[in-house]
Structures are given as structure tokens and as C-alpha cells.
């Protein structure tokens, strides 16, 4: 099965056309369900077969919740929230001192690309009005649904680009689970139903089930449950949210049977984490020497300004729903938010 970028499973050509295709997909157009079904199946296979050196196994031999990144520069994107253009801009961005775009660096195997999740449910710009219109469509059993089609087109385009990246560069592109990775709007396993402007989670599940079918809904949900929770680099950790309590490596590896661990990393609100959870988790995951200069990066909650520091400066939030803001970390130096956070245009 060739992907949208014209590549087959696990293969990609250096200097491809990812950014070009990402820009083309960065619209609200709805694509046929068959295309998504094939892509989801291919990425599920990749997630379940990732090398143990990259994704160590849990106590039952299943891929665990940690990605051990290689010692490469790493680009991290916070919450996407139906912004496929954000991914396209990040791929087309040239980091200072490199002379090549992220797209080219990926093709050469010289960089890692990490998304911290929350692909669905737009939250900025005209989102509130679109959700209000879509709620009326939902109340009419989707008899008329242009507003929800536009919303789902954006979310699905963002999801497709991420999945295509994983298909093309399975060892260098990673997509983590956030609290919005819950296509079926389920309760349990660390997940909760989502609502902000209206009943977004319920509406997305209803639309997807009606127009894409129960089988694809179940497959996509299985993909979400198979996503890892954390990437661990030489001098940093990154997840969707702040660890709600101190986490060990075994806790994270066994996340599939630990709903408390899942909930901790995708739902913990500002001020809700146990005191010392970030620092103690870093020490448990890295050892005291590496943890000393390390930081933990996350999104989940919007920040005022370029970033916000918590946990004595060890925890860095950098999600701004109105900006295309990224973190670019070198593997051979301690993270510095003032130096390592960039806006890539929007």
C-alpha cells in the first residue's frame, strides 16, 4: 500500500515532498474513508512492530509507553488541535545553523520529529463559531453538516499527515497520545469524554461512526490506544502533559495495564501534580547525573507568553493555540527554553 506521499510501508526517499503534500492536505476537505482505513492499518502494524531498542517491551512483551530516542536533534510540536498547516510549516522550517528544512533532515535521517498529540478538536480562530453551528447539525441527526465536515476535514487532515510521516519515517517520527486521542469518546483506560465549547467528543464520535463506519472507528481507536506516552532523549523527556505523580520506567512500559499512568500524562492540570513528580520522574528515567540539567517538555494547557515553567523550572509548557510554536533540541547540550523555542510561521 503506497501512502499519500507515494511511498510504501516503512520506506521513504531522501528529500521527498512531505511539506508539499502536507500543504495540500492542510484543508478542510473530507477524504474517502478507504484511504484512511488503509493508512491506519499500516501504522498500527508499525506501532506493534517497533524495534525493542526504540520502544522497549512491557512485562507481557508488548510495545511499552516509552520511545528511547537516538542522539539526534529533535523537533517537538505541542497540541495540534485540527491545524494541519502547523505540521506543514514545521516540515518546511529550517533550524538555525542547518541550511536544510526539517523535511530534508528527516529524509537524511538527521533529525527526530515528535508530536505531543491532541490532533482533533479545533480550539482557536473561528473554532467556537464552527462548533456552535455543528452542534445544531448534530441536533438534527446530521441532516445537514457543512460545519462539522469542515471541522472533521481539518482534524483528519492533521491526523493523516502525522500517520503518513510515521509510515515514511518510522524510526524518526513519533506521535504521542494526548487526552484528545479518544475518537470514540470513551470513559476508561485513562481516557475521559471531552467537551469545551460544546460536546466535541460526543459529536466527533457520532460523525465518524455515521460517515466512516464502526469498523474504521474501532481500528482508529486501537491505533490511539497503541500510541506511546513519552519520548526520552539524552537530556530531555516530552509527553502531552505533566506527570501527575512520580513515574518509573516500569510504570511507563506497562501503561497498557495502568490507566492511572495514562491519565497522569494526558489529563493532569496545572497545579494538580504531586510535588516533585517531574524531578523524581526524570531521575527515575535518566539517573541523577543526566537528570540534573534535563527538562520535561509538554503542552496540554495554553501558556501566556512563549513558554511557562513549572516544577522549579524543570517542566516547560509551550502550547499556544494561536501560534505555530515548536521546540528544537540538540542532543549534546542541556535544554534552554529561551534558546530552543521557535515560532515557525502561521
For 85-132, the pLDDT digits (tens) are 999 999 999 999 999 999 999 999 999 999 999 999 999 889 999 999
Of residues 30 and 276, more confidence is placed in 276
Report the distance separating Cα 148 and Cα 137, nearest Å: 8
For residue 24, is pLDDT > 80?
Answer: no
pLDDT band for position 79 (cuts 50, 70, 90): very high
Task: State the average pLDDT over residues 4-22.
Answer: 44
The confidence score (pLDDT) of residue 118 equals 97
Chain-centre distance of CA 253, in angstroms? 18
For residue 248, is pLDDT > 80?
Answer: yes
| 18-343: CATH topology | Purple Acid Phosphatase; chain A, domain 2 (3.60.21)
State the chain's mean pLDDT as an integer.
92
Interval 165-184: pLDDT, tens: 999 999 999 999 999 999 99
Report the distance separating Cα 13 and Cα 33, nearest Å: 26
Report the distance separating Cα 209 and Cα 219, nearest Å: 12
Q: Distances from the Cα of 59 to the Cαs of 64, 214, 240, 255, 258, in angstroms?
A: 9, 31, 24, 10, 12
Percentage of residues in the chain with pLDDT exceeding 90? 89
For residue 20, is pLDDT > 70?
Answer: no
Domain ranges across the chain:
18-343
The confidence score (pLDDT) of residue 13 equals 40
For residue 22, is pLDDT > 80?
Answer: no
The confidence score (pLDDT) of residue 6 equals 36
Pairing of strands 173-175, 112-115: parallel
Report the distance separating Cα 26 and Cα 160, nearest Å: 10
For residue 11, is pLDDT > 60?
Answer: no
Query: What's the grid cell of residue 154?
Result: 481539518
The confidence score (pLDDT) of residue 32 equals 86
pLDDT band for position 10 (cuts 50, 70, 90): very low
Sequence-distant (≥ 6) Cβ neighbours of residue 24 within 8 angstroms = none
Beta bridge pairs of residue 67 = 231
For residue 346, is pLDDT > 90?
Answer: no
Query: What's the grid cell of residue 103?
Result: 523535511
Task: State the average pLDDT over residues 135-159.
Answer: 95
Amino acid at each position: 500500500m503506497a501512502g499519500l506521499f507515494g511511498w510504501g510501508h516503512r520506506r521513504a526517499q531522501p528529500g521527498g515532498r512531505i511539506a508539499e503534500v502536507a500543504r495540500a492536505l492542510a484543508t478542510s476537505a473530507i477524504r474517502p474513508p478507504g484511504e484512511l482505513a488503509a493508512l491506519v492499518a499500516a501504522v498500527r502494524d508499525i506501532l506493534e512492530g517497533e524495534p525493542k531498542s526504540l520502544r522497549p517491551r512491557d512485562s507481557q512483551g508488548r510495545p511499552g509507553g516509552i520511545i528511547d530516542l537516538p542522539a539526534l536533534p529533535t523537533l517537538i510540536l505541542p497540541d495540534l488541535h485540527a491545524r494541519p498547516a502547523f505540521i506543514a510549516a514545521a516540515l518546511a522550517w529550517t533550524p538555525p545553523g542547518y541550511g536544510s528544512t526539517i523535511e530534508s533532515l528527516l529524509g537524511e535521517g538527521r533529525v527526530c520529529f515528535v508530536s505531543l498529540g491532541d490532533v482533533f478538536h479545533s480550539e482557536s480562530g473561528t473554532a467556537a463559531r464552527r462548533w456552535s453551528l455543528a452542534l445544531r447539525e448534530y441536533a438534527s441527526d446530521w441532516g445537514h453538516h457543512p460545519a462539522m465536515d469542515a471541522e472533521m476535514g481539518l482534524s483528519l487532515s492533521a491526523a493523516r499527515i502525522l500517520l503518513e510521516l510515521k509510515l515514511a519515517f518510522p524510526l524518526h517520527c513519533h506521535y504521542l497520545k494526548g487526552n484528545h486521542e479518544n475518537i470514540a469518546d470513551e470513559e476508561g483506560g485513562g481516557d475521559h469524554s471531552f467537551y469545551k465549547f460544546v460536546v466535541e467528543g460526543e459529536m466527533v464520535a457520532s460523525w465518524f461512526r455515521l460517515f466512516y463506519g464502526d469498523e474504521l472507528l474501532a481500528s482508529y481507536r486501537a491505533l490511539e490506544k497503541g500510541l506511546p506516552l513519552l519520548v526520552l532523549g539524552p537530556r530531555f523527556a516530552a509527553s502531552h502533559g505533566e506527570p501527575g505523580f512520580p513515574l518509573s520506567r516500569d510504570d511507563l512500559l506497562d501503561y497498557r495495564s495502568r490507566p492511572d499512568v495514562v491519565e497522569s500524562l494526558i489529563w493532569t492540570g496545572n497545579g494538580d501534580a504531586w510535588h516533585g513528580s517531574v524531578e523524581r520522574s526524570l531521575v527515575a528515567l535518566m539517573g541523577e547525573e543526566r537528570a540534573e540539567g534535563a527538562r520535561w517538555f509538554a503542552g496540554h494547557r495554553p501558556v501566556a507568553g512563549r513558554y511557562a515553567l513549572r516544577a522549579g523550572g524543570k517542566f516547560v509548557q509551550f502550547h499556544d493555540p494561536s501560534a505555530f510554536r515548536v521546540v528544537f533540541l540538540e542532543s549534546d547540550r542541556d535544554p534552554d527554553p529561551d534558546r530552543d523555542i521557535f515560532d515557525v510561521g502561521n
